[in-house]
Amino acid sequence: MAERMVKACHKCRIYISIGNTYELMQKEQKFDREHRGHPTQVVRISEVQEYYKPADE
C-alpha cells in the first residue's frame, strides 16, 4: 500500500494531508495561500512526521 502524501512548508515546519476529496483540496488551497513564497514540497508523511507538526493543531 502506498504511503500517505503530504504537503510540507519547510519554513514553518508544518504539513497537511493532500488528496482528491473536496475537503482536502480546500485545505490545500488555503495552505497554499497562507504559505505563498515559502518553500513547500509534496513528500511522504514518513519523511516529515517526526520533525514537522500537522497544520491542523
| Residue that has been written with the C-alpha cell 493532500 in this structure | 18
The ranges assigned to domains in the chain are: 5-54
Q: In whole angstroms, what is the distance from residue 49 CA to residue 26 CA?
A: 22
Name the pTM for this structure.
0.88
Write the pLDDT tens digit of every residue in 1-57. 678 999 999 999 999 999 999 999 999 999 999 999 999 999 999 999 999 999 985
Question: Does residue 15 sit in helix, strand or coil?
Answer: strand
